[in-house]
Amino acid sequence: MVTAYPRVGILADTLARWTGGIDFLRMCVGAINAVSPDSVQSVLVPSRSIQKSVLRTGKNGIKALIGRTITPWEPIPKGELVDALTLSGAKIQIAEFRETRHALADVLSKRGAEVLLPCESSLGHSFPIPWVGYIPDLQHKQLPYFFSESERRGRDKRNIRLLRDAPVIIVNAHSVLSDIKEFYPDLKTRLVALPFCPSWYLGRHSDRSAQKTGAKYRLPQNYFIVSNQFWKHKSHETAFMAMRYLHDAGHHVHLVCTGKKTDSRWPDHFRYLEDLIQRIGLREYIHVLGLVPKADQLAIMQHSLAVIQPTLFEGGPGGGAVYDAISLNVPAVVSDIPVNREIDIGAVRFFSARSPEDLAEKLIDLLKNPPQTPSEEETRFRLQERQRELGRCLLETSSSILS
């Protein structure tokens, strides 16, 4: 018997403002489409009003006067969003709405959506369309020193409202679920941890030759890759120091880094990393490319020796870089923080977080004993099943709040 699943609207608001969020939206759309193609109705994107732009500009002016860091105004990159969602294989439509709950409900009704997900902020009990909450992580609880007091209060306020109002909340990992129960013990909302699901179809979009990609970015022959935004908690310095130890041991391989160079909370962090590269004498061996198109990033990764993931915190196992590595059948060497230990597929090795010495040891072992990766066919089969598992989880969660 064929199961009748609800028609789902995908809310692309704050998630569409950063590459990891876009990857998560693509993963959800692809998974739902794999199980029930008719269930993906529209991807909802807020249109920015003049009033809100003026308000942000005014707030930034006040912040500048009192010496605080301003908040950059970044409209949702619709072209990037469409390109990323196209990789999911689903036929999607982008629908804009003015930023009011009434306008959102009106668009959902016109599009025939029965459920809305993932919602990072509460829509309240009176919202006419059932909605699924989403909490990406509790980084402000685990790494409070990376946030100001006002930022921590703001995140707590948003999460408490969400936990109070949402009929169900999805998270990317069991470790996030455990964090919610630890830090908000009095809020008993139903929580659903999504299965770990790298995308099987990314390999189809990364078939650019090593020669073409290497020529475009002037890449070396043998390199590892770190594919993270240059945020402080990503711990690039661990990878850089590990490369120093590799060179000291006679392994003169390179490191390529892709990702946005800015961290709004720590505006001097990228400059610190540039100075570190200079101090350890590896300017010719560490190549910082910045943010590159997704197809290029995948091609660069596919031709690497392995992905290095030195992160100190993630909301999902391994972060987006490891999802991509497993999709492309590329080995990964990953920090052993709890959420990363949930990775249960792919050629993955773990090292002690914050330890460049241990990372270097694991990289040297990988160079001497390259891992046996499964065939492309086996990887595709396993990841397709994971995708269907995720799709069923999202659709069954959506169905559960309709009754």
Within 13 Å of residue 19, how many CA atoms lie on the same side as its CB? Answer: 21
Per-residue pLDDT reduced to its tens digit, 278-291 = 999 999 999 999 99
What's the rounded mean pLDDT across residues 4-14? 93
Paired residues of 45 in beta bridges: 96
Paired residues of 351 in beta bridges: 335
pLDDT at 170 over 60: yes
Instruction: Map out the domains of the chain with their CATH numbers.
Output: 8-197+388-400 (3.40.50.2000), 200-372 (3.40.50.2000)
Report the range of poorest mean pLDDT among 70-79, 108-117, 348-357, 359-368: 70-79
Paired residues of 307 in beta bridges: 225, 332
Per-residue pLDDT at 48: 62
* DSSP state, residue 320: H
Angle at which helices 19-35 and 376-400 cross, to 10°: 80
Inter-residue long-range contacts of 78-86, CB under 8 Å, 24+ positions, other chains counted: 78/45, 80/22, 80/294, 81/12, 81/16, 81/22, 81/25, 81/43, 81/45, 83/294, 84/22, 84/23, 84/25, 84/26, 84/294, 85/25, 85/26, 85/29, 85/43
Per-residue pLDDT reduced to its tens digit, 315-339 = 999 999 999 999 999 999 999 999 9
Per-residue pLDDT at 313: 95
Helix ranges, 166-250 (H): 174-183, 210-217, 236-248
pLDDT at 46 over 80: yes
Paired residues of 169 in beta bridges: 133, 191
113 within 8 A of 9, measured Cβ to Cβ:
yes
Report the range of poorest mean pLDDT among 69-78, 188-197, 211-220, 381-390: 69-78
pLDDT at 349 over 60: yes
Q: What's the start-to-end Cα distance of the chain, in Å?
A: 20
pLDDT at 63 over 80: no
Distance CA 146, CA 148 (A): 7
Sheet containing 348-351: which strands, arranged edge to edge? 286-290, 254-258, 223-227, 307-309, 332-335, 348-351
Per-residue pLDDT at 173: 97
pTM exceeding the 0.95 threshold for the entire prediction? no
Entry field: residues in the chain: 403
Distance CA 246, CA 241 (A): 9
Q: And the tokens for 16?
A: 């569409």
pLDDT bracket for residue 206 (50, 70, 90): low
399 within 8 A of 166, measured Cβ to Cβ:
no
Cα 7 vs. chain centroid, distance in angstroms?
25
Q: What angle do CA 196, 202, 208 make, to 5 degrees?
A: 150
Per-residue pLDDT at 59: 45
Amino acid 259 reads G
pLDDT at 74 over 70: no
- Under 8 Å CB-to-CB from 4, ≥6 apart: which residues? none
312-338 in b/e form (b: 16+ CB < 10 A) is bbbbbbbbbbbbbbbbbbbbbbbbebb
φ/ψ of 291, rounded to 5, equals: -80, 125
Report the range of poorest mean pLDDT among 233-237, 240-244, 261-265, 364-368: 261-265
